[in-house]
Chains A and B, each alone.
Chain A
Amino acid sequence: MTGERKGLTMRKKQAIAGYLFILPFLIGLVGFFLLNMVQAVIYSFNDVRIVPEVGGLVMDGVGLENFQFVLFQHGTFNRELIESLIDMVWYVPLIIFFSLFMAMILNRHFIGRSFVRMIFFVPVIMATPAILTALELSMSMMMGGRTNVPPDVMAEMAGFSPEAITFILGDFGLPDDLVGFIVDSIFRLNEILRMSGVQILIFLAALQAIPAEMYEVAQIEGATGYETFWKITFPMVSPLILTNVVYTIVDLYSHSPVVETATSFFFEMQQFGISSAMSIVSGLVACMFLLLVGWIVSKYVFYVNG
């Protein structure tokens, strides 16, 4: 009865189980995300129009014409692209450092911790269509029933309005210059705060996933807070720094003026080909930036399993 091994090897069984685990997600990813991207690439090489008589889209191949238009003929696109890139270079490190710092404070034990954590997540909640509509209305009332504030301005300040602060500080009788300075710096801080909600949350989870024994051992061995941070906390959250970098870049990119231009070409001018070319160019630039930052960050990332 000795002899042949029946069925599959363990490694093969494991691989089959693994593929079964991935399959449902992969089908959705390919169907709803990757096919769309391929389609967008095809559009970018075509002049795409909606022709109701045919009952759908008509495509005429134009080669690289769309890309040529986007890069060299459109008045503002290439400048916007560079500006978005510079914005990313500024904001990504600021947001990452700030959110890690905030997460470390919020991870300490104090009364009302969940509530304070929630407050830092509020900007994410506020960016909801129904809330934005209501906010727009209340803002126009605050400004003495003045005409409606444009919705894109509202989206900018979902979370906090510089107007409200201007009014309040003006009420205290502060001089205009000082009010201007305060509002300006608050606005910058607000930008960073508003964009770090999700990142703080992810870092909090990362801090919580660090096994408590590690800190216990460090304490017994007499490590200082400084050492504990650099030898335990930082290495253990470092993979999530990468995640947050990716998230921040995607977030900044999807709110950048480049994408807004692409959107207006899409919905207002119905130039689907050009719009696709714009997003592919800007998507590639963002991807390149992501690869560069990812490469730098991955040098410092520590994985438990080496």
Chain B
Amino acid sequence: MPKVKMPRKSTTVDMTAMCDVAFLLLTFFMLATKFKPEEPVTVTTPSSISEIPLPDADIMLITVDPKGRIFFSIDNKNMRKDLIDNIDDYKKLGLTQQEKLSFAIGSSVGVPFSQLKSYLDMDPDQQKTVNNTTPGIPADTSVTNENNELAAWIRVARNTNPKLRICIKADGNASYPEIKKVISTLEGWKIFKFNLITGLKGVPPGTAAYTMKQNATGNKVQ
């Protein structure tokens, strides 16, 4: 032991500042973000300059994955409950209450009607595995085709909730004929107005849209 004790300085760092930062960021993330909706498949949408936000409620979402498989969903748990009741009546699937509940709380479905009962019977983990291999909802360019199950889904969903806005979320690599099936089906039901979900990209300078945007922001400042 040395005779002279050196004044010992604590090695602890003041954490207050760091704690402030951490909670500031936490608050930011909590307020500025919303939870990701559960998706059956990963879809990378192409980007556009359009800035129209996705409506909050009454959405019918048709997802098309890179392989062209079609998944269908609507928002709002109560609406989903009504939808599956109507689908059950319409297609005579003989679903149990348990299976209907599974649909109401689940995410998008992408199985043909023939497999829907067994699909809804599974637990969520099994459903995820099935989503990787399922052929998707069968669709066709003609709405009158018996095999166009997407047409049946859209029709029943629109009867359940007439206010539904149709959104198509398709992967950039999905081939055009698959998209055409979806668009033709919508056209077959006389739906000519729908939304394509896209990412956001900047407006290229020097173009007509860029000038319009500049004018719009310029007017706001004045």
The answer to whether A and B belong to the same complex is: no
Task: List the interface of chain A (C-beta within 8 A of B).
Answer: none
Task: List the interface of chain B (C-beta within 8 A of A).
Answer: none
